């Protein structure tokens, strides 16, 4: 009896899955236009130019030729000054203790101080032995503010009858301080737009003791700092020029 044959089963692989249709590629944006070299340079230089213009109009430099602000500032110092429109915006007054650069008052070179006897036989005399030229640029420290009464006695400054506290050093004045006509012999009342300034070197400073109050409109700027010091030379010191 012959063996019964088993049917042959053929396993066919499943049909491949239907592949999804590929999506069409998105259109590519056109390449950005390349900036011209001069445009790139302009973008770099313009901010620098604006900063430079600001610095020119906001700051200036000054030279200290005399010893009137010793020991704070020395002859030969080159200083940085912030202009008044930035240091004191909207007409604000300087603070007590500020070192300011200003245009000196336009006063006659010679004449009697207020209240002096005009019949003195000695004739007209100068307001001070260190008298500067009218309108010259000076640098001093603010000690008196608008509306205050100022009096200088030796190295002491009295504001409304009270001694002013100092946080800086000064050089004492010479014995001829009594010859100074303003705020020394009598208290000086300041107006609403007036300041009183002194040099730190009271022995050699053409300041408010000679010519009285300083108008706010004469202030040029505020001392910021010393940039560098120039070496002493034979012509470095010119007394009465700061």
Distances in whole angstroms, Cα of residue 130 to Cα of each of 14, 30, 206, 227: 115, 77, 6, 27
Nearest to 173 by CA among 85, 68, 36: 68
Under 8 Å between Cβ of 152 and 118: no
Q: Residue 138 and residue 132: Cα distance in Å, rounded?
A: 9
Please tell me which residue in 66, 84, 140, 205 is annotated as part of the active site: 140
Written as six digits, the tokens of 90 are 């909207």
- The beta-strand segments (E) located in the chain are 59-63, 77-83, 99-103, 137-144, 149-153, 156-159, 162-163, 188-189, 194-198, 214-215, 219-229
Instruction: Tell me the three state secondary structure of residue 84.
Output: helix
Please tell me which residue in 68, 84, 205, 242 is annotated as part of the active site: 68
Q: Is 189 a catalytic residue?
A: no
Q: Is 217 a catalytic residue?
A: no
Under 8 Å between Cβ of 65 and 238: yes
Nearest to 67 by CA among 59, 55, 77: 77
Residues that are catalytic: 68, 140
């Amino acid at each position: 009896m012959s063996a019964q044959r088993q049917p042959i089963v053929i396993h066919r692989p499943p049909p491949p899955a239907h592949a999804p249709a590929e999506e069409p590629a998105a259109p590519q944006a056109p390449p950005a236009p390349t900036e011209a070299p001069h445009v790139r340079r302009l973008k770099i230089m313009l901010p620098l130019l604006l900063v430079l213009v600001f610095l020119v109009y906001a700051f200036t430099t000054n030279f200290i030729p005399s010893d009137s602000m010793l020991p704070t500032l020395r002859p030969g110092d080159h200083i940085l000054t912030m202009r008044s429109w930035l240091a004191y915006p909207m007409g604000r007054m300087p603070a007590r203790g500020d070192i300011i650069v200003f245009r000196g008052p336009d006063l006659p070179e010679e004449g009697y101080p207020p209240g002096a006897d005009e019949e003195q036989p000695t004739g007209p005399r100068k307001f001070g032995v260190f008298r500067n030229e009218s309108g010259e640029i000076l640098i001093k420290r603010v000690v008196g503010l608008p509306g205050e009464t100022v009096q200088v006695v030796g190295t002491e400054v009295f504001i409304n009858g009270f001694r002013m506290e100092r946080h800086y050093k000064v050089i004492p004045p010479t014995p001829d301080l009594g010859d100074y006509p303003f705020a020394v012999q009598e208290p000086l009342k300041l107006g609403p737009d007036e300041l009183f300034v002194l040099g730190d070197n009271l022995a050699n400073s053409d300041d408010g003791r000679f010519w009285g109050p300083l108008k706010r409109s004469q202030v040029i700027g505020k001392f910021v700092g010393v940039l560098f010091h120039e070496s002493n030379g034979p012509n470095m010191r010119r007394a009465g020029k700061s």
